[in-house]
Amino acid sequence: MFLFRWLWKNMEGVRVKYICGLLLLVLCTSMFIITPYFTSQITDTFIINENALYNLEHHSDTLIFMLAAMVGFTVLRGIIEYGSAMLFEVSSQSLIYRVRKVLFRNIEDQDARFYNFYRTGDIMTRVSGDLEMVRHSVAWIIKAMVECVVLFGASLIFFFSIDWLMALCLIALTPVILLITWLLKRKVGPMYVEQRERLSRMNTAAEENISGNRVIKAFAREEHEIKKFDEISKEYCEATKNAAFTWLKFFPYLEVTAQSLSVVMLICGGLFVIGGRITFGEYTAFSGLIWTLSNPMRTLGNIVNDLQRFTASANKIIEIYYGSPRIVTRSDAVDKPERFDGKIEFDHVSFAYGDTKVLDDVTFTINPGETVVLMGETGSGKTALTELIPRIYDPTDGEVRVDGFSVHLLKLEQLRGNIGVATQDVLLYSDTIDGNISFGDTSMPEEDVVKVAKAADADGFIRRLSDGYDTIVGERGVGLSGGQKQRISLARALAVKPAILILDDTTSAVDLETEKHIQESLANLDFPCTKLIIAQRISTARYADKIIVLENGRIIEQGSHEELISQNGYYREVYDLQT
């Protein structure tokens, strides 16, 4: 019932349409008994009646009226059914639009831990295939359920109004159908959950191979990946066949039981006609409506089958739909709409990914406008440290402060709006270069885009491209070199004129001349900016106001270039190696 309450909640705005669709469906389905009723009257009055010829001669207008009524009600039923189907379709599409909108917003609002847990292919399955299954359920499964109930109920009422004993004979097999359906539900339910998981794995594998196709080709692993995907695809195929074959095992029992109604109709109906309990016209009505009992019984298995698939898909959607991020703006957050000064303080900060400790009791201060370089071996916690400032993650102990306020007390939008980030692993969107640079401020004038591109030493190569700034960048920056992508990423970070600029090894893929140009540009920005740079080159670090060296998540050295080369520590070793 929870799933249906969830559907009803998300039908806000189209509930009236959906209810109207249900009412039209009930009316349309109820009208199926009209034709057999007129058929029985025509049979008893104008065909087998002892005064049939007299009735035809003197009451032909009644016959014509009945025939016209049958045709009229048939046409009317078709129109009503069409209207009902349209209302169901409009309602289901509106529902899915609303759910997809909420779902995508919720996915966007999730913090980094969410993306560490959920695979991309799994998320894509939820916002595509699972949502389509929910739409199908609203538009057709619920419709089929109502149709079966109304058809079965209306027919029973009509049958009991003719002869109660004949009606009881026809519904005697109903308990058998219900038992078979219950057994099917128990058996096939877990199989659809397994099928859904296999589909998610297959989509994840496909997404990873498409995104990483260059790596696969570089290592000549095409055959390996094809074989691996084939195995995953085979697992999904097997899961799908298991669910389908289980349904097919029960199908003959449902079909035979439903078809048995025709046998009951022939035997009991024939005996009752011979015995005079019912007329031949009433027998014709029973015979004409026997499908209204057998068809719901036959359809019941399909409905249960689809409901199990709907349940598996809807549960996956609801898991994310009601999922809430851990990192959110507090209700008592400080409102700081003005531009930040850019002061950063780490006060005995520790951080861990699960059970793995990444930062351990880190304390330092960066004053507004300073340039600070983070150095250390791979895995020393440099990137994790920078991710605590915009609250990509929250520290497990200690406090991170910006402009004297704990980042927990600042509004997320205001905090992140004052921070520009350029990462080593650059993500560019399938858009123009202009669109990628102005991503943080889509209203940027073109001259400002060019200005920040020049500061990142990107203007030269951009103008040499076929369409300049209007060149469409391939997915994830395909077609650009690593250094070119890094410079566009840097320009994108500078474009928002941040109070705090975080560069994660942004110049690792550029040559020394380009790096020198970028350093000069960063030193002469036309806006105040605190810069925190992760770097391994002495050429980048030597002009910083402060250098912080991390090892195993702890600060082991801190000071200026001159101070650190006078010590025999990590920085001096790197300096000697590079110079």
Sign of the CA dihedral running 320, 322, 327, 333: positive
DSSP string, 362-408: EEEEE-TT-EEEEEESTTSSHHHHHHTTTTSS--SEEEEEETTEEGG
Strand, coil or helix: what is 472? Answer: strand
Question: Hey, what are 451's tokens?
Answer: 């200005």
pLDDT in tens, 206-255: 777 776 676 676 667 778 888 888 888 888 888 888 877 777 777 777 77
pLDDT in tens, 325-355: 888 888 889 999 899 999 999 999 999 987 8
pLDDT in tens, 520-556: 778 788 889 999 988 888 888 888 899 999 988 899 9
Q: How far is CA 46 from CA 162, 169, 285, in A?
A: 19, 29, 15
Enumerate the β-bridge partners of residue 373.
Answer: 533, 547
Strand, coil or helix: what is 343? Answer: coil
Q: Tell me the mean pLDDT in the region 31-37.
A: 81
DSSP string, 113-167: HHHHHS-HHHHHHIIIIIHHHHHHIIIIIHHHHHHHHHHHHHHHHHHHHH-HHHH
Instruction: Name the most confidently modeled range: 254-263, 265-274, 300-309, 505-514.
Output: 265-274
Strand, coil or helix: what is 279? Answer: coil
Q: Tell me the mean pLDDT in the region 127-143.
A: 84
Whole-number Å distance between alpha carbons of 139 and 133: 10
CATH number of 344-578: 3.40.50.300
**Of 146-160, 281-295, 411-425, minimum mean pLDDT range:** 281-295
**Of 120-134, 204-218, 330-344, 383-397, minimum mean pLDDT range:** 204-218
Question: Hey, what are 119's tokens?
Answer: 């695979």
Question: Hey, what are 329's tokens?
Answer: 């703006």
Sign of the CA dihedral running 138, 144, 145, 146: positive
Domain range list for the chain: 2-321, 344-578
Please report the pLDDT score of residue 476 as a whole number. 58
Question: Hey, what are 549's tokens?
Answer: 């060296």
Enumerate the β-bridge partners of residue 344.
Answer: 366, 402
Instruction: Name the most confidently modeled range: 35-49, 152-166, 235-249, 367-381.
Output: 367-381
pLDDT bucket at 362, cuts 50 / 70 / 90: very high
Question: Hey, what are 13's tokens?
Answer: 């705005």
Other C-beta atoms within 10 Å of 411: how many? 15
- Class for the domain spanning 2-321: mainly alpha
Residues 555 and 359: beta-carbon distance below 8 Å: no
pLDDT in tens, 35-71: 887 877 777 777 776 776 777 777 778 888 888 888 8
Q: Tell me the mean pLDDT in the region 441-463.
A: 86
According to DSSP, the β-strands at 344-353 and 371-376 are unpaired
Please report the pLDDT score of residue 509 as a whole number. 60
* Mean pLDDT estimate for the chain: 83
Q: 446-457 burial, b if ≥16 CB within 10 A, otherwise e?
A: eebbbbbbebbb
**pLDDT: is 244 or 471 the higher one?**
471
Question: Hey, what are 151's tokens?
Answer: 């058809």
Find the length of the chain. Answer: 579
Same fold? 2-321, 344-578 = no
Measured over all CA atoms, what is the biggest interatomic distance in the chain, rounded to whole angstroms?
A: 126
Phi, psi of 149 (to 5 degrees): -65, -50
pLDDT bucket at 510, cuts 50 / 70 / 90: low
Question: Hey, what are 389's tokens?
Answer: 């400032």
Residues 521 and 456: beta-carbon distance below 8 Å: yes
**pLDDT: is 360 or 182 the higher one?**
360
Q: Tell me the mean pLDDT in the region 199-208.
A: 77
| Spatial CB neighbours of 47, under 8 Å, sequence gap ≥ 6 | 281
Please report the pLDDT score of residue 478 as a whole number. 61
Q: Tell me the mean pLDDT in the region 193-212.
A: 75
Whole-number Å distance between alpha carbons of 244 and 187: 11
Position 156 pLDDT exceeds 90: no
Residue whose token pair is 């025509």: 42
Position 189 pLDDT exceeds 90: no
Starting at the earlier edge strand, list the strands of the sheet with 419-422: 419-422, 500-504, 530-534, 371-376, 546-551, 554-559
Please report the pLDDT score of residue 477 as a whole number. 58
Position 571 pLDDT exceeds 90: no
**pLDDT: is 343 or 314 the higher one?**
343
Q: How far is CA 135 from CA 99, 127, 139, 313, 314, in A?
A: 10, 12, 6, 11, 10
Round the CA-based radius of gyration of the chain to a whole number and report it: 36
